[in-house]
Structure 1
Amino acid sequence: MYALMSNASLAATSAGGEENISVVVDGCGNAVNKATHPSHFGVPLAVPEWEAIVTALVLSIIIMLTIIGNVLVILSVFTYKPLRIVQNFFIVSLAVADLTVAILVLPFNVAYSILGRWEFGIHLCKMWLTCDVLCCTSSILNLCAIALDRYWAITDPINYAQKRTVGRVLLLIAGVWVLSLVISSPPLIGWNDWPEEFSNEYPCQLTSNQGYVIYSSLGSFFIPLAIMTIVYIEIYVATRRRLRERARASRINAITLKNASGAGGGGGKDIISTQQDQESVSSETNHNEPQTNSKEIAKIRENPPTPKKKNRRPKIKDSLKEERQKHQNSERLLQAPPREDSITDNPENSSDGQKPNGDGLSLNDDKNTKLLLSNSTNRQSMKKAAGVYQFIEERQKISLSKERRAARTLGIIMGVFVVCWLPFFLMYVILPFCSSCCPTDKLINFITWLGYINSGLNPVIYTIFNLDYRRAFKKLLGIKC
C-alpha cells in the first residue's frame, strides 16, 4: 500500500526532553506549529508516549499475524499433498506479495507514524516507497488473477483444464509481478515531484504528481476493481444458473426413478449416468474440495449402493404357510381328496419327481409361490433404485452446498477488498487535485492501515473456507482434532 502517511514534518526537539513546539508543513502546504513529545527512550515522538506504545503494540500484532498467516499458506501448499495443485500457485503468489508487504513496508510505517518524521535516509526512503507500491499492487493484481482463473474454470471447464498448465500459470504470475514493477518504478526514473533531499520540511512520501497519481491508481486499483467486479458477477450468475439446472435435474431423476421402478427396476445405471453428466460440469470455485472421479462412478455403476435389507425368506415362508393352511382348511370343508395334479416340493420321494407330499401343496400353491417371489424381486429392485436415488440426492445436496458456499465466499472477497482499499485510493486520488482538502494525520494513518490490513485478511478469506487448508494449518501447528 502506498505510504501516504503524514503530510507534515516535525522539526527536531531540544535535548531537554520537554514538549516543544516546532514549525511543520501541513497537508495543504501551510506552515503550522505542532508539538512533539518526549519519551523515556530519548527519542521525541509525534504522539504522547502512552499512545505511541499502544499504537506500536497493536500494529505489531497486525504485522505478526499477517506474517504468520501468509507463511502458513505458503508452507501448506508445498507440504500438504492435496494442496499441491497448479491453481494454488496463484494463492502462493498472493501470499508472497502480502508477506513482502508485512516485512518490507509495515515496520517502517509503524516507525514513521510514531516518530512523525523519516530517520532512515533518502535512498532507503525511495526504496521503501517503491516497495510499498510494488508489493501492494502485486497483491491486488494477484487477487484479480485469482478471479480470472476461477472465471475461466467455471465458464470453460474442459478446455481450461487442458490450458491450465504449470507453465501457463507461472507465466501469468510473472506477468502480474512485471506489471506491478511497471506501475511502481516510474518515480525512480523521474516521474515525481520529489525534492533534492528529504528533510523536515519535505517528509518521505509518495509523489503527488497528478499524472502519476492517475496512472498508478488506475493500474493498481480501479482497473483491477472493474475486472474483479465483472468477473465475480459472472461467476455468481453462473453459480445461480447451475443451482437451477441441478434442481431441475433432481426432479427429472425422480421421474426417471418412478418410471424405472414401474418397469421392473433397472434404471439405476441410467440415473448414475445422468449424475455423471451433471458432475462433469461442476464448479471449480472451491477447487480443492474432493470430487467423485470416474473410477468411483464406474464402481457405482457396477455395484449400485443399496440400503441394508433384512432377510426376506422368513416372510416368504410365513406367507407360504398361510396359503397352505388356507388350502387345508378349504379341503376339510369341502371334504375333497387331494387334487390329481398336485406336485411335490420334495422330489426325492417320487419315482418321477412329481407326487403329492404330506403338505398337500398344489399347482395353485406353486403359482402363488412364484408370484410372491416375483413381488419380492420387484421390491428388491425398487429398493435398489431407491438406494441409487438416495445416493444421487446426497451428492446433489453436497454439490449445491458447495455452490452456495462459493457464492458466499465471493461476496466476502469483494466486500473485504472494497472496504479495505477504496477509502485509501479515493484519498490518494483526491488530495493532489484538492488544495483545500486537509485530512488529519490520524485519519490518514487509519485509512492507510485499513488498506494494509487486507494483506492480513487475504490468507484468512482464501483458505478458511477450504477444508484442505484448515487441515494443513492444523498439521503445521501440531493441532490434533
Structure 2
Amino acid sequence: MENLSVAVTDNTTVLPSGGETGARAPYGGKTLSAAVLVGTFLGIITLGTIIGNVLVCLAAVVNRRLRNITNYFVVSLAVADLLVGVLVLPFSTIFEVTRYWNFGLILCNLWVSLDVLCCTASILNLFAISLDRYYAITRPFTYSNKMCRRKAFMAIAVVWIVSLLVSFLPIWVGWNTEDGRLQNVDDPTQCSFNNTNVPYIMIVAFGTYYIPLIIMCVTYFRIFLIAKEQANRINALQPEVRDANRRQNQNLANEHKATRTLAAVLGAFIICWTPYFTVFTITPLCGCTIPEQLYSVVLWLGYINSLLNPCVYAFMNKEFRRAFKKLLCFQTGNSVCFCNNPRNWGLDTPTTSTAPRQS
C-alpha cells in the first residue's frame, strides 16, 4: 500500500560539469552499484512472492486433501498476495531504484489502487479465516453440517467487493484527497498517496486494519483457550471411551493444527504490516515527515508478508509441504513427481477428508 501522507524527498540535483540545474539524479541519488544491489534484492522478493503463491494456488487445486472450506479462504489470500507479486512489486521495485515514475498518471493511480486493493483483501481474508476457525472450533458439529462451499464463496466475494470499494472508488473519484482532485494529477512522476485527507486515512486504517486486527487477536485467543479445554477433556477420558471417539478426536486435532498454522500467518501479518500502518496513521495527524529510507523499509516489510505466507504453509502444514514437493518434483524413493504422473496426487483414489460438507 503506497504512502498516503509521507512527503517524498525531492530527487533533483545540480549536475556537475555544466549540467543543468534541477535535472533528476539517476537512481534517486544512489550509486550504480547500490541501485543494482537494491534492484536485485527486491527482484528476488518479487520472484519469490510469485512462485510461492502460485504453488499455494496450484496445491489447493490439484491436491484433493487440501480442498476444504478453510483453504478456499487461504487460496483467496494467496491470490491477493500473487497480485501483489505480479502487478504491484515490479513497479514498486523500479520506483524504489529510480525514485521516478515514468509510466504516466493513469498507470500511477492504477498501481496505487491495486496496492490498496491487495493489502485490504489480505486483511479481510485473514479476518474471514479467523471467523471460519472460530466457528469450526467452537461449534464443530454445526460447522460441518451448515458451512458449505457456496457460503465460503459468498464470503470471499464480499471480501473482494469491499476491497474494491475501499481502493479503486475513492482514488479514481478523488474522495481521498484534500482538494477533491484526482490523485497525483499535479506530479505523476512522484507517484504516491500525497494530499490525502485525514478522514479517508482514519477509515482505511481503523476500518480495514486496526479493528479487524483486534477482533482477530481476540478470536484466536478464544480459540486457543477452547482448544486447550477440549484437549484436557479428551485426555481425561477413559482409554476405551477415547478409542470409541477416535475419529471425532482426530478431526478435532486436525482443526487445531490448521488453526495453529493460520494463527502463525496472522502473526506474520501483524509483524510485517503494523510498522507501516503506524506510520500511515500517525504521520498525517502530527503533520511531520519521515526519512525516505525509513518509509521504504516499513513499506517493503509489508510487501514481504506476501512472500512469507507460502513459507509458513510449507513449514507448518504437512499437506501443503507434500504438495509443494510434488509440484517442484522434489520426490524421493519410488514416488514419481506430479509432472510425470498426475495419479500421484491421489485424484483417482478416494481419500478420507475431515473437511466440512460442500454443496
| Superposed pair shares fold, TM > 0.5 | yes
Aligned length: 326
1:97 to 72, 80, 90: 80
| TM-superposition CA deviations, 1:175-203 (whole Å, max 9, x none) | 11011112112222121327666455983
| Alpha-carbon offset, residue 151 of structure 1 | 1.0
Contact (CA 8 Å) 2:28, 2:100: kept in 1 or not?
Answer: no
Change (3 A) 1:202 1:479: closer
408-417 vs 440-449, which deviates more? 408-417
| In 1: Cα distance, 2:97 partner to 2:322 partner | 39
The answer as to whether partners of 1:83 and 1:468 remain within 8 angstroms in 2 is yes
CA distance in 1, matches of 2:199, 2:154: 30
The residue aligned with 1:7 is 8
* Letter aligned with residue 57 of structure 1: T
Gap regions ≥5 residues in structure 1:
23-34, 39-43, 254-270, 288-402
SS at match of 1:438: coil
Match of 2:138 in 1: 155
The answer on 1:204 being equivalent to 2:191 is yes
Secondary structure of 1:87's aligned partner: helix
Among 272, 278, 298, which residue is 1:420 paired with? 272
Deviations 1:339-381 (A, max 9, x none): xxxxxxxxxxxxxxxxxxxxxxxxxxxxxxxxxxxxxxxxxxx
Q: 1:246 to 1:414 in 2, by over 3 A?
A: same
Q: Give the match for residue 81 of structure 1.
A: 64
How far the C-alpha of 1:242 sits from its partner, in A, is: 1.7
Residue pair 2:13, 2:21 contacting (<8 A) in 1 also: no
Once the two structures are TM-superposed, the CA of residue 10 in structure 1 deviates from its matched residue by 2.5
Structure 1 position 219, deviation (Å): 2.4
Name the CA shift for 1:410/1:67 in 2 (closer, same or farther; >3 Å): closer
8 A contact 1:464–1:470 mirrored in 2: yes
Matched, 1:236 2:224: yes
Give runs of ≥4 in structure 1 deviating > 2 Å: 1-6, 8-14, 16-22, 35-38, 84-87, 192-203, 273-287, 405-415
Give the superposition deviation at 1:106: 1.0
After superposition, the Cα gap between the structure-2 partners of 1:411 and 1:143, relative to the gap in structure 1 and judged at 3 Å, is closer
How far apart, in 2, do the equivalents of 1:18 and 1:148 lie?
Answer: 64
Deviations 1:373-405 (A, max 9, x none): xxxxxxxxxxxxxxxxxxxxxxxxxxxxxx5x6
Q: Are positions 1:48 and 2:31 aligned together? A: yes
Aligned pair 1:186/2:170, yes or no? yes
**What's the counterpart of residue 204 of structure 2?**
216
Identify the structure with bigger relative contact order (alpha carbons < 8 Å, sequence gap 6+): 2
Give the whole-Å Cα distance in 2 for the aligned partners of 1:13 and 1:71.
45
Letter in 2 for 1:223: I
Local SS of the residue matching 1:2: coil
Aligned to 1:444: 295
TM-score (norm 2): 0.82
Q: CA RMSD in A?
A: 2.7
Correspondence 1:480 to 2:334: no
SS at match of 1:478: coil
Deviation at residue 244 of structure 1 after TM alignment: 1.5
Label 1:462 to 1:96 Cα distance change in 2 as closer, same or farther (>3 A). Answer: same
Between structure 1 and structure 2, the one with the greater Rg is 1
> Match of 1:65?
48
Deviation at 1:63, TM superposition (A): 0.6
Tell me by how many angstroms 1:85 deviates.
Answer: 2.6
Unaligned regions of 5+ residues in structure 2, if any?
Answer: 333-359
Change beyond 3 A, Cα 1:223–1:20 = farther
Q: Is the CA contact 1:2–1:136 (under 8 Å) kept in the aligned structure 2?
A: no
Indicate yes or no: 2:107 matched with 1:124.
yes
Counterpart code for 2:289: C
Rounded Cα–Cα distance in structure 1 between residues aligned with 2:82 and 2:269: 17
Give me the whole-angstrom Cα distance separating, in 2, the residues matched to 1:153 and 1:191.
Answer: 39
Counterpart-to-counterpart distance in 1, 2:160 and 2:285: 29
- Quick one: percent identity of the two aligned structures? 37
